[in-house]
Chain A
Amino acid sequence: MAIIETEKLTYTYPGAEKTSIENISIKIEEGEFVLLTGPSGCGKTTLCRCFNGLIPHFYEGKLEGKIQVVGLDVVKHPIHELAKHVGLVFQNPENQLFALSVEKDVAFGLENLGIPRKEIRQRVDWALKTTDIYHLRERPPYELSGGQQQRVAIASVLAMQPEVMVLDEPTSFLDPLGAKRIFEDIHKLNKELGITIILVEHRLDLTAKYANRIIIMDNGKVILNGKPREILDSEKARLIGIGIPKVTRLYQFLNGKGMRLNYVPLSSEEMAKKLKEVFKQ
């Protein structure tokens, strides 16, 4: 069975005139790395809020259709129960932080699950080191820089090691090296532990290479859903104005001028490798 499955999922926020997501029917299998993208305001965050039950349990409004996550009907299970299986890194890190120290923030979810002290210590230290904020562990989160706060938000979810991790633009405040490391770590969790990843991103230059699937939304609907290379090279993707990776655009430019590489690159490494092959022939 799919780890996430929605059927004609449609949602309208309280007081809103129009639906924010409409007729979404998708299936995500266990162990997938899905990249979710689309123009600002198209409904990405709203869909993520359905995955961990914030919709409909926190945001009221009107939810229609069906949604199952890790075998649970989201509508029938409360947020704290879903939280054991699904972790969400919020788009705005400040909305996720509340404790008096970084360390307490990261430990909070684990304490709620009733995990033994010793294991909590280990997992918290691992998460703090992975996100490179171990040295900040005693600082209050509200006295940190934007990127440091975002690292705390990511660490809190990493420490939980949920079956499904939903990350809503998790590195928007991070420096490029920090962002790269986080994406590599997420990729590793996906490959080694089989954690299902749903990553919301506008910056496909940094992320397309990790995904085995891309879902593109526009105006509340899913309009493309499939393999990254096919989707990013499609006319439709170009027309809705998402950030096609620079190397993919370079490939298209060369293709248009008659230099056919016959392989859609998604990263600079792939592009450089392909060009070297061609030049050495």
Chain B
Amino acid sequence: MIEVKNVHFTYPSGVEALQGVSLKIRNGEFVAIMGQNGAGKTTLVKHFNGLLKPSKGNVLVDGMDTRDVSVATLARKVGFVFQNPDHQLFSETVEEEIAFALRNFGFKENVIKRRVTWALNLLGLTQYRKTSPFMLSGGERKRVALASVLAWNPKILILDEPTIGQDYGQKEKLRQFILQMKAQKKTVVIVTHDVEFVAECNPRVVLMSNGKIVADGEARKILTSPEILEKAAIIPPEISRVFLELSEFGFPTNVIDVYEAGEIILDFWEAKNREHV
């Protein structure tokens, strides 16, 4: 469980990035933090693993105040994947990169081997086992960063922009994985601008704007409310935009899924055809 209590954060340069944020994330929740550039999303999630400490207020992770515990203690619990993979990667090969944290946490060699193989496979990186992370494409590097954290199976997972540079197939695999984590009662927090990905996952959405939280609720509701989204520089997903346009025909306006949309349109069309006969 993560509890954020009236947190303020000011960078040394004087930028007030968080201006009174309160938020509770329970075990087993899947949360997407969204909002405009510079809203404070990355700054907020960096508080969840103690990388940043509040200037005012408190952050509690499983009841521990991040100000009182070492980053090392938190690191074992909270896995963090950076927005930019280049801030995270340093090893000579992909395999070593993924094994690094596992070794640090004292896993046995045979477990390390198994976990590395599993993570390589999950993220489609098996062919790059012995390759340098710096000789990979942008999307591949992001996946190495993801693999190196997913491999040790943290209790809380924070992913800053996990879908950047990923094709549809990779995103689908990531979605499946997150759902599995959720089923195991693990907590997953993603920061993302990828509206279509969020529409497919339907998580809890927390919207931020100017250092504050401006909305909090299920994706299906938040992503289909243009007035709320506008405050956070977000545009509804494509399917929702079609349905918002069609409201004159009495269609529901909270649809984000392709197949659900298809069934509703078909029903309407068939009913209309019957009238004509």
CB contact list, B227-277 vs A, under 8 A: 232-235, 237-239, 241-242, 245-246, 249, 258-259, 261-262, 265-266, 268-269, 272
- A249: chain B residues at CB < 8 Å are 258
With an 8 Å Cβ cutoff, the count of chain A residues facing the other chain is 55
- Supposing A40-B165, A94-B84 touch, asked if A147 and B37 sit within 8 A by C-beta, the answer is yes
Q: Are B235 and A250 in contact (CB under 8 A)?
A: no
**0/1 per residue, B156-182, Cβ < 8 Å to A?**
000001001111111110000000000
Shortest Cβ gap from B106 to chain A (Å): 33
Judging by beta carbons under 8 Å apart, are B235 and A177 in contact?
Answer: yes
CB pair A275–B167 under 8 Å, yes or no, is no
A143 touching B13 in the complex, CB below 8 Å, given contacts A91-B165, A177-B235 = yes
Quick check: B168 and A91 within 8 Å, CB to CB?
no
Q: Which of A173, A246, A254 has a CB less than 8 Å from the CB of B265?
A: A254
The distance from the CB of B200 to the nearest CB of chain A, in whole angstroms, is 9
Contact B233 A175 (CB under 8 A): yes
**Cβ contact within 8 Å between B164 and A172:** yes
Q: Which of A175, A276, A279 contacts B36 (CB 8 A)?
A: A175
Q: Does A178 contact B (CB under 8 A)?
A: yes
Which one of B67-75, B107-115, B135-143 is at the A interface?
B135-143
- A222 on interface, CB distance cutoff 8 Å: no
Once the chains are docked, how many angstroms separate the CA of A207 from the CA of B52?
36
Q: Which A residues touch B262, using CB under 8 A?
A: 250, 253-254, 257
Contact between chains at B36 and A178 (CB < 8 Å): yes
Let me know if B65 is at the binding interface, CB within 8 A.
no
Residue A151 interfacial (CB < 8 Å): yes
In the bound complex, do residue B265 and residue A38 qualify as a contact, i.e. CB atoms below 8 Å apart?
no
Which of B1-9, B23-31, B189-197 contacts the other chain? B189-197
With A16-B135, A250-B258 as given contacts, are A40 and B42 in contact (CB-CB < 8 Å)?
Answer: no
Tell whether A39 is near chain B: CB-to-CB under 8 Å: yes
Partner of B167, one of A40, A177, A269: A40
Known A143-B13, A146-B161, A275-B246; judge A151-B238 contact (CB<8 A). Answer: no
A33 to chain B minimum Cβ distance, whole angstroms, is 20
Q: Is the CB of B269 within 8 A of A202?
A: no
Closest chain B residue to A245, Cβ basis: B238
How many B residues are at the interface, by size bracket?
Answer: 35 or more
- Taking the closest CB of chain B, its distance from the CB of A268, in whole angstroms, is 4
In the bound complex, how far is the Cα of B246 from the Cα of A173, in angstroms?
A: 31
Least CB distance from B166 to A in Å reads: 6
Interface contact B242-A176, CB-CB below 8 Å: no
B19 → chain A, closest Cβ, in Å? 15
Kindly state whether residue A124 has any CB partner on chain B within 8 Å: no
Which residues on A sit within 8 Å (CB–CB) of B258? 246, 249-250, 253
B57 contacts chain A at the CB level, 8 A cutoff = no
Q: Mark A23-49, 1 if CB is under 8 A from B, else 0.
A: 000000000000000111100110000
- Which residues from chain B contact A38 at a C-beta distance below 8 Å? 167
| A146 B42 Cβ-Cβ under 8 A | yes
Asked whether, in the complex, the Cβ of B168 is within 8 Å of the Cβ of A242, the reply is yes
What are 18 sample pairs from A and B whose C-beta atoms fall under 8 A apart?
A: A40-B137, A40-B165, A44-B137, A92-B86, A143-B13, A145-B42, A146-B37, A146-B84, A147-B38, A169-B138, A175-B39, A244-B168, A246-B237, A247-B242, A250-B262, A253-B259, A259-B269, A269-B245
Which residues in B have some Cβ–Cβ distance to A below 8 Å?
11, 13, 15, 35-39, 42, 83-84, 86, 135-140, 143, 161, 164-172, 193-196, 199, 232-235, 237-239, 241-242, 245-246, 249, 258-259, 261-262, 265-266, 268-269, 272
Known: A175-B232, A176-B234, A278-B269. 8 other contacts (CB 8 A): A39-B170, A40-B137, A175-B39, A175-B233, A243-B167, A257-B266, A268-B242, A276-B245
The 5 A-B residue pairs whose C-beta atoms are closest, nearest first, are A147-B37, A40-B139, A272-B245, A241-B169, A268-B241
